[in-house]
C-alpha cells in the first residue's frame, strides 16, 4: 500500500473515536481558530482530554496548529501564546475497492477545455490527455509496471503472459458512460506502458465481467 493511502486510512481511523470526531466537527465549524479551553468548554470535556484528542488530530494533519496571544499584548508579562487549532486543507478519501474519480474528472475537464479552445474533437482530446497522463504516471519513482498499476488501484493479476486488472478505478463512470471512460482508460494505460519503455506489453480493450475493461498482453 502506498504512503498517501496509508495516511488517509490512518486519518479515517483517528476520526473513528467518538470524542475525537466531535472535536474535529466542532473545530471545523468555527470561523476562527479554537483553543483547547474553548473546545473543552464547548463540548463539556476536561481540558486534558480535549488537548490529547486535538493534538492527535493535528498529528494526522486533519487540524492545523498555530500559537497566538489571545490578549493581543506582546512582550514581558503578556503571557504564553495559546495553542490554537483550525481545520486543515487536507482532504481524505478512502474507498474500497479503490476508485480514482479525481483522475477521470481532471482528464474530462482538460479535454473539454482544449476542445473548446482549439476545435479538436472532445474524444480525441480526452484520449491524448489520458495518454500524456499515463506517461507522467510512468515516471512516478521509477516503479515497475505491476507496482504502478497497484498504486493507482487497478489490482493487477498475472494471467499467463498477460496481466488482467481486477478493479476499475472508474467503475461507476464506466458503467454509465462505457465508451467514453473505457476509451480514456485504454489510452491512459497505453501512455503508462509507453512511458515505461520496453515492458513488452500492449494494452487492448477486452471487457470481461468483474474486471477492468483493459487487458495487458504481450506485444506481437
- The larger pLDDT score, comparing residue 77 to residue 18, is at 18
- One domain, residues 62 and 169: no
- One domain, residues 108 and 79: no
User: Cα separation of 15 and 22, whole Å?
Assistant: 9
Q: Look up the CATH number of the domain holding residue 172.
A: 3.30.1380
Mean pLDDT of the chain: 89
The mean pLDDT value for 68-89 works out to: 74
Whether residue 92 is contained in a domain is answered as no
- One domain, residues 122 and 79: no
Domain residue limits at 60: 3-87
**pLDDT for residue 75:** 52
- One domain, residues 30 and 108: no
The domain boundary, picked from 87, 110, 131, lies at 87
Whether residue 33 is contained in a domain is answered as yes
The mean pLDDT value for 60-67 works out to: 92
**pLDDT for residue 94:** 62
Q: Look up the CATH number of the domain holding residue 37.
A: 1.10.10.10
Q: Which is nearest to 34 in space by CA: 72, 83, 85?
A: 85
- One domain, residues 106 and 210: yes
Whether residue 210 is contained in a domain is answered as yes
Task: Provide the percentage of residues in the chain whose pLDDT is more than 70.
Answer: 90
The mean pLDDT value for 2-19 works out to: 77
The domain boundary, picked from 87, 118, 136, lies at 87
- One domain, residues 117 and 198: yes
- The larger pLDDT score, comparing residue 89 to residue 168, is at 168
In the predicted model, is pLDDT for residue 88 greater than 70? yes
Whether residue 94 is contained in a domain is answered as no
- One domain, residues 132 and 206: yes
For residue range 191-215, list pLDDT tens digits in order. 999 999 889 999 999 998 889 999 9
Whether residue 96 is contained in a domain is answered as no
**pLDDT for residue 1:** 39
- The larger pLDDT score, comparing residue 209 to residue 130, is at 130
- One domain, residues 19 and 107: no
For residue range 107-123, list pLDDT tens digits in order. 999 999 999 999 999 99
Count how many domains the chain has: 2
Whether residue 114 is contained in a domain is answered as yes
Confidence category of residue 68, pLDDT binned at 50, 70, 90: confident
- One domain, residues 77 and 134: no
- The larger pLDDT score, comparing residue 159 to residue 140, is at 159
- One domain, residues 43 and 118: no
- One domain, residues 45 and 153: no
The domain boundary, picked from 64, 87, 110, lies at 87
Determine if the pTM surpasses 0.75: no
- One domain, residues 188 and 212: yes
Q: What's the 3-state SS for the chain?
A: CCHHHHHHHHHHHHHCCHHHHHHHHHHHHCCCCEEHHHHHHHHCCCHHHHHHHHHHHHHCCCEEEEEECCCCCCCCCCCCCEEEEEECCCCCCCCCCCCCHHHHHHHHHHHHHHHHHHCCCHHHHHHHHHHHHHHHHHCCCCCCHHHHHHHCCCCEEEECCEEEECCCCCHHHHHHCHHHHHHHHHHHHHHHHHHHCCCCEEEEECCCCCCCCEEEEECC
Amino acid at each position: 500500500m502506498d504512503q498517501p493511502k496509508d495516511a488517509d486510512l490512518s486519518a479515517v481511523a483517528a476520526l473513528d473515536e467518538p470524542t475525537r470526531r466531535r472535536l474535529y466537527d466542532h473545530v471545523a465549524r468555527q470561523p476562527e481558530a479554537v483553543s483547547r479551553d474553548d473546545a473543552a468548554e464547548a463540548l463539556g470535556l476536561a481540558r486534558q482530554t480535549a488537548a490529547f484528542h486535538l493534538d492527535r488530530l493535528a498529528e494526522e494533519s486533519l487540524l492545523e496548529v498555530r500559537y497566538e496571544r489571545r490578549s493581543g499584548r506582546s512582550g514581558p508579562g503578556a503571557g504564553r501564546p495559546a495553542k490554537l487549532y483550525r481545520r486543515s486543507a487536507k482532504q481524505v478519501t478512502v474507498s474500497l475497492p479503490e476508485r480514482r474519480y479525481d483522475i477521470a474528472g481532471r482528464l474530462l475537464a482538460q479535454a473539454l477545455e482544449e476542445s473548446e479552445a482549439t476545435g479538436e474533437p472532445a474524444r480525441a482530446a480526452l484520449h491524448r490527455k489520458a495518454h500524456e497522463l499515463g506517461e507522467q504516471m510512468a515516471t512516478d519513482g521509477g516503479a515497475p509496471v505491476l507496482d504502478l498499476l497497484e498504486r493507482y488501484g487497478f489490482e493487477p493479476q498475472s494471467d499467463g503472459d498477460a496481466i488482467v486488472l481486477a478493479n476499475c478505478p472508474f467503475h461507476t463512470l464506466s458503467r454509465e458512460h462505457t465508451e467514453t471512460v473505457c476509451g480514456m482508460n485504454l489510452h491512459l494505460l497505453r501512455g503508462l506502458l509507453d512511458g515505461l519503455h520496453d515492458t513488452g506489453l500492449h494494452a487492448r480493450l477486452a471487457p470481461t465481467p468483474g474486471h477492468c475493461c483493459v487487458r495487458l498482453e504481450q506485444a506481437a
